[in-house]
Amino acid sequence: MIRTGTGAIIGAGVGVAVWVFGKLAGSAHAVKTVSRRNFVRNATLGAIVIILAQLAGGFLRFFWPNKTGAFGSVLTVTADNIPAVGETPFRNTAGKFYLVRNEDGLLALYWKCTHLGCTVPWNEGEDRFHCPCHGSIFFRNGVKESGPAPRPMDFFPVTVTPTGDVQVDTGSPTTRNDYDPSQAAPYPG
């Protein structure tokens, strides 16, 4: 529909331009008629060029990055959003991570399941992360308890600022095979 409308508009514009230039050129020279065969040939070639240009534009637009939102950059979580040890993890929707605080410090867990990439929500009643797609269950530190997930949840690097705010680099998720206390960033208080 869009292609047809665009072709009609461009075709009309070309037709008007040819008519205007023909009138201007015709005033100085004798009017030259166009045969039916040449008209059909030129119209067909023009339509093919327009369609190919639209297809090329659509192809290039499809592969152009369409980055929206904050995911992939360094995000700051203010000190008032940092959960206490054992509390419900802080969910950062823009960064697609949970900020979890355990005895070792802070972990920014990527909320994507390591099985097939579903979003893994926090289950308050069981104090675990539960994947709704295929039933993978993860502990508070992101280690797999059960289910088809092949490994623990990925995590993002965390930096604690002197003011108590936390900066999470969502551009580089880290994969792991198990939990190590060095993965958690120490948090004062």
Q: Is the pLDDT of residue 23 over 60?
A: yes
pLDDT > 70: percent of the chain: 87
DSSP labels, 124-188: TTTTEEE-TTT--EE-TTS-EEESS-SSPPPEE-EEE-TTS-EEEETTS-B--SS--GGGSBP--
Its CATH architecture, for the domain 74-183, is 3-layer Sandwich (2.102)
User: Which residue ranges make up each domain of the chain?
Assistant: 2-63, 74-183
pLDDT class for 56, splitting at 50, 70, 90? Answer: very high
